Structure 1
Amino acid sequence: MMLLIDAGNTRIKWAVAEPGAAPGDWLAHGSFAHDDGAALPAVLAAHPGIRRVLGSNVAGPALGVALDATLAAVGLRAEWLASTAERAGVRNGYGEPGQLGTDRWAALIGARRLHRGPCLVVSAGTATTADVLDADGLFRGGVILPGVGLMLRALARNTAQLPFADGHFSDVPRNTADAIVTGCLHAQAGAVERMFRPLAEQPGALCLLTGGAAGRFADLLQVPLRRVDNLVLIGLATVAGEGPQPAAMG
């Protein structure tokens, strides 16, 4: 068995799977907060057959050290994904491939496994990213913008009369809370749709949408759309299927 770890900015997602399992065909999966020190030991105790650990960590070195220590206590060593020039049929178009966040890299690899046509890979979490992946597997580049929650908090923190809004989307908002939420959701959907435009006329073009905040604006998107859970973990499983990484990082 293998353990896949997606250490994001807010939470840690994980899955246990057999090598070669189909995308999303996990034996178990879940998530936990960064400060939940009992969560990973519980996962390891529940699955004593784990022999390999592959992860993506964009939450910082301190969290990586803590995860490594927990794994080492049961005799496991994590392979932390590195963003490289090419992997699993995806070519990295960044000027410096290593600068690309490993969560975005894994999501692109997962997207390539699920869809062989051109696609826009959108991850909606603490930040929202929208990355262009050509039909031939070339990652051309993408954008990063504040996620829905960050946008709402920024308005509450930096404006005197706009509170953190617990409002709802409305076509024409008639109160401040709805106006704030609607504006933030339009900003998310608008960015995605603008990034999709160069792909729109290409055969089979699709937007793959993942992440915890995806449901906030998915229904607003007027592009061919497929919702995918745990796209980063799917990408990690794909990498694991190729064997040991050529550029593993500890």
Structure 2
Amino acid sequence: MKLLVDIGNSRVKWASLGREGLVPGGAFAHAGQALPELLAREWRTLAGVTAVWVASVVGAAVEAELGQFVRERFGRVAHFVRSPAAALGVRNAYAQPQQLGVDRFLALAAAHARSPALQVLASVGTALTIDALTADGMHLGGLILPSPMLMRRTLGNATARVETQGGSYQAWPASTADGVYSGALVAAVAAIGHFHGALERRCEAAAALLLAGGGSDELLPLLPAAQRVPDLVLQGLALWARTPPA
């Protein structure tokens, strides 16, 4: 059984890959906590691990902690995937390929494998990333901006009297909390809509719109044309682990 790990800035998600295919494992927050203790609790019953593949956007120190835990717990080397110039049917737009977050590359690969079409992939985590992909697998580039959650947090940290806790989406907010919550959502939706429209004008064709990431649920009601696709990073990591590119 191959263990697949997607470690983001705030959360860890994992799954197993075996004869039965990709099987979701679990997810947990790790920011500001001792990663080895979290992993020991989360993976206490795991056995039969033959390989470990990791998609990571965290720093080298956290990756080192994960690598050491994998060696001690499973007797395996953790393979950290880095974004290539091209693999899995996707060509990276970046002149320096590894600067593209590996989570973005793997999610694009999974989206392309799922449906090779002109599409925009918006992934909502700590950051909001919005990427364009052609039907033949060419990544055209993408935007990076704060997610609605990070917008609200940053506004709260930078102001003295702006209430950023609670709130809900309202078309015409009549409280500060609702105004902050709604404003962050509308800003994100506007960015996605702008990018989606720009892609359709550039390619003179309709483009699919996919939403992924833990924060995508709150955007979905405001983007009725979008389709939410969970676990795209792990799906892309599974493609990589099945036949690792050279």
Q: Which letter maps to 2:181?
A: V
- Number of residue pairs aligned between Structure 1 and Structure 2: 240
Identify the match of residue 210 of structure 1 among 204, 209, 212: 212
- Is the 1:88–1:109 contact (alpha carbons within 8 Å) kept by the matching residues of 2? yes
Q: Percent identity?
A: 36
Matches within 5 A, 1:100-249: 100-200=100-200, 205-222=207-224, 224-243=225-244, 245-246=245-246
Provide the secondary structure at the position in 2 that maps to 1:165: coil
Once residues 112 and 204 of structure 1 are traced to their aligned partners in structure 2, the CA distance between those partners, rounded to angstroms, is 16
Once residues 199 and 186 of structure 2 are traced to their aligned partners in structure 1, the CA distance between those partners, rounded to angstroms, is 20
Cα offset, 1:165, TM superposition: 3.2
Provide the secondary structure at the position in 2 that maps to 1:38: helix
Matches within 5 A, 1:58-137: 58-73=57-72, 74-137=74-137
Q: Which letter maps to 2:6?
A: D
The equivalent of 2:25 in structure 1 is 29
- Is the 1:90–1:138 contact (alpha carbons within 8 Å) kept by the matching residues of 2? yes
- Is the 1:117–1:204 contact (alpha carbons within 8 Å) kept by the matching residues of 2? no
- Is the 1:117–1:203 contact (alpha carbons within 8 Å) kept by the matching residues of 2? no
**Which protein, 1 or 2, shows the higher relative CO under an 8 Å CA cutoff with sep ≥ 6?**
1
Once residues 29 and 204 of structure 1 are traced to their aligned partners in structure 2, the CA distance between those partners, rounded to angstroms, is 35
| 1:40 is aligned to 2:39 | yes
- Is the 1:44–1:50 contact (alpha carbons within 8 Å) kept by the matching residues of 2? no
Alignment deviations for residues 98-147 of structure 1 (CA, whole Å, 9 cap, x no partner) = 11111111111111111210111111011100000111100010001101
Q: Which runs of no fewer than 5 residues in structure 1 stay unpaired?
A: none
Instruction: Report the CA distance shift for 1:182/1:45 in structure 2 as closer, same or farther (over 3 A).
Output: closer
CA RMSD across the alignment = 1.8
Q: Which runs of no fewer than 5 residues in structure 2 stay unpaired?
A: none
Structure 1 length normalisation: TM-score? Answer: 0.90
